[in-house]
Amino acid sequence: MSKRHNWSIPYFVFMVLFVVLPLLLVAVYAFQDGNGRFTFANIVRFFSDSNALSTFALSIEVAIENTVLCILIGYPAAWLLANRKYNRSAVTIILFILPMWINALMRTLATAELFNILGVQLGKGTLLYGMVYDYLPFMIYPIYTILQKMDKSYAEAAEDLGATPSQVFWKVTVPLSMPGVRSGILMVFMPTVSTFAISEFLTNNKIKLFGTIIQENINSSMWNYGAALALIMLLIIGISTLFNKNDGEEAESSLI
């Protein structure tokens, strides 16, 4: 048993090679010019390019709006689903997470097509609708899980101490379900900052998000500038993860 810890060595080597080294390369490429010389030019180019900056700001804005909408729509849904008074069947929650298993691009395309048929102009509105549509299950599920596991006696104790149903909800249920909300935020916010296919489909490429310009630069062989943009995104992700310390694991493992 004593030598068993060595079994993690292959994975460690694998991780260093395929996770750590690639991330370091992103940083290295970000500070190089096309000939491999050290430069700040890529970073400077981003901060002096008003187009890139406004795309960046728009991406953050859309991601925040999407996250807020997902909470506003998803929390009540999760609460209703976890409440025995309104939902007795475990199948309903399956219905809510089932679309997660269908190819997201296909669903997004179908949504765009539906808008076309209904004659809705593709733009920021349809983009947000599509984002909420794609990511809502990721908000509902962690909140539902935590609400469902929550000990009913907390609410009963609060009632016993004289809290009205709405006070029970705001002062007991909501605070206790915050870890679920935080995991939900992590699972919605981060993918929305980085997505590119969804925005391309749902706005007919009229609105570009940050992910799209990373993709365009990499695909047109502008690796160094692409890497610099990726590095900036990585910093954003790193910062938002720090705010959610430990919840990341919960969020991901709640899916298992």
Report 29-88 residues binding another protein (CB under 8 A).
Answer: 29, 73, 76-77, 80-81, 85-87
Stretch that binds another protein, among 50-58, 110-118, 146-154, 169-177 (CB under 8 A): 110-118
Provide the minimum distance between the beta carbon of 43 and another protein in the complex, in angstroms, as a whole number. 16
CB of 68 to another protein, least distance (A): 17
CB atoms within 10 A of CB 101: 8
Compute the distance between CA of residue 77 and CA of residue 98 in angstroms, rounded to an integer.
15
Residues in contact with another protein, counted by CB under 8 A, come to a total of 82
164 lines the binding site for another protein (CB under 8 A): no
**Residues between 191 and 220 that touch another protein (CB under 8 A):** 191, 193-197, 200-201, 211, 214-215, 218
Which residue's CB is nearer to another protein, number 161 or number 253? Answer: 253
Kindly state the smallest distance separating residue 252's Cβ from another protein, in Å: 5
DSSP result, the chain: -GGGGGGGHHHHHHHIIIIIHHHHHHHHHHTB-TTS-B-SHHHHHHHH-HHHHHHHHHHHHHHHHHHHHHHHHHHHHHHHHH-TTT---THHHHHHHGGGGS-HHHHHHHHHHHHHHHTPPPSHHHHHHHHHHHHHHHHHHHHHHHHHHS-HHHHHHHHHTT--HHHHIIIIIHHHTHHHHHHHHHHHHHHHHH--HHHHHHTTTSS--HHHHHHHHHHTT-HHHHHHHHHHHHHHHHHHHHHTTTHHHHHHHTT-
Q: Which stretch binds another protein (CB under 8 A): 9-17, 48-56, 147-155, 174-182?
A: 9-17
Pick from 56, 75, 96, 141 the residue near another protein by CB under 8 A.
Answer: 96
Question: Which one, 33 or 252, has the nearer CB to another protein?
Answer: 252
Task: List phi, psi (to 5°) of 203.
Answer: -125, 10
| 53, 72, 114, 178: which one binds another protein (CB under 8 A) | 114
Closest distance of CB 204 from another protein, Å: 10
152 belongs to the binding site for another protein (CB under 8 A):
no
Among 35, 37, 48, 106, binds another protein (CB under 8 A): 106
Shortest reach from residue 54's CB to another protein, in Å? 19
